[in-house]
Amino acid sequence: MSKKITLLLTTLLCCITSFAQQKNTGDHWLQHANEVVHEQLSKAAAFYKPGLDPRSVNPDGTVKLVHLPDWTTGFFPGSLWLGYELSGDQLLAEKARSFTLALDSARNLTNTHDVGFIIYTSYGNAYRITRDKIYLPALSDGAKHLYARFNPKVGVIRSWDFPEWHYPVIIDNMMNLEYLYWAATALNMPAYAAAASTHAKTTKKNHYRPDYSSYHVVDYDPATGKVLKQATHQGLTDESSWSRGQAWGLYGFTMCYRHTRDPKFLVQAEHIAAFLMYHPRMPEDKVPAWDFDVHNALEKDLPAIKDASAAAIMASALLELSTYEKNAQPFVDYAEAILKTLSSDSYLAKPGENHFFILKHSVGAFLYDSEIDTPIDYADYYYLEALKRYRDIKHISKETK
């Protein structure tokens, strides 16, 4: 049998199996979502070119294409890998490989924590899925450069090198700890895991308010580790709760528990989850406005535009958190409600539309007039991850019943 026919048969078998699994759970919305996901990713992979990734849609309706060192460049390759896992379509894996390898020079990035987002979502997924050693040099260099940004005196990884801050750390940085934990084991670098845990502990202490909402930025004195300022960059005000930041923190502490089994991280994740899930201004459809405090600014005519990316990250995080809970159901139910909303016509693209992005309606940086109410690559990425986690959890619970 030729290689092409074998590939075709394997793909067909995977699609039939995944279709049958969804039929059994009665999740027709999930089946529809998977069909849209597969169609959009296949079209996007054929249309866009490796090294120039679709990030969002400009106000004039054109696509914002980005190359390195844009912080989001890992998400489109990562989405192709997740799309491959969801569908079994080998063609997506081949495209994912090309889009990933086009990011090779990311391994030289030394001036931002975003090296973690870029490399771990692309190369990290590539290696996790294929075990192909071709991905290891970039993973190894990127982790080395991320770790080099850790200052033991301060106890955190420095996020940015922008001159207006002394030693800024953003809550988003929690996401990059996953890369360090992975590298600690896979590349035998235990110091990386120790740095990741110290970063999480310092963040827990200095980023969080008594109600378990998080500041966006904490600026430290690099010589002493003293907190100089608790502030925002993308939120409404220094004291407001920027929605995506809350979701990054929830995801980050949940993932830290996975790697350390330190109960303090689990408790922190549970508190953040409660802040988000029972927030009085969480809309009924469970997709928050870009900042939970935007209602305070309504007199300034700031509309409460929703951010699907925050909801997608939250869904993925809650699904992981549910696996550590004796009473998992409220977390699974909440994530399911988010996923059903995002998979409805209000948020999910019609096949072939939306410039082949999967979701609509995210917000990048509202007060900078940047990426308001647009599709965005990281919303798609975490939506796909959440769909995969949801499928896995449902599959497991079906078998253990």
CB of 364 to ligand GLY, least distance (A): 6
Q: For ligand GLY, which is the closer residue by CB, 147 or 366?
A: 366
CB of 376 to ligand GLY, least distance (A): 9
Catalytic residue selected from 27, 141, 172, 291: 172
Q: For ligand GLY, which is the closer residue by CB, 180 or 266?
A: 180
Q: Which residue is at the shortest CB distance from ligand GLY?
A: 172
Q: For ligand GLY, which is the closer residue by CB, 167 or 248?
A: 248
Contacts of 303 (CB under 8 A, 6+ apart): 294
Q: Are 358 and 384 in contact (CB under 8 A)?
A: yes
Q: For ligand GLY, which is the closer residue by CB, 213 or 234?
A: 234
Residue type, 207: H
Binder of ligand GLY out of 38, 97, 145, 244 (CB under 6 A): 244
d(CA 9, CA 348): 29
Q: Helices 329-342 and 28-47 meet at what angle, rounded to 10?
A: 50
Residues numbered 361 to 380 that lie near ligand GLY (CB under 6 A) are 364
At which residue do the structure tokens 């569908």 appear?
87
The three-class DSSP label of residue 328 is coil
- DSSP characters for 231-287? E-SSSSSTTS-BHHHHHHHHHHHHHHHHHH--HHHHHHHHHHHHHHHT-TTS-TTS-
CB of 309 to ligand GLY, least distance (A): 8
Catalytic residue selected from 27, 53, 89, 114: 114
d(CA 203, CA 218): 9
Q: For ligand GLY, which is the closer residue by CB, 93 or 314?
A: 314
Residues numbered 156 to 195 that lie near ligand GLY (CB under 6 A) are 172
Binder of ligand GLY out of 234, 241, 246, 341 (CB under 6 A): 234
Query: Is residue 172 annotated as part of the catalytic site, yes or no?
Result: yes
Tokens in use for 233?
């960059």
d(CA 388, CA 244): 21
Query: Is residue 221 annotated as part of the catalytic site, yes or no?
Result: no
Instruction: Please give the positions annotated as active site.
Output: 114, 172
**Binding stretches for ligand GLY (CB under 6 A):** 172, 234, 244, 364
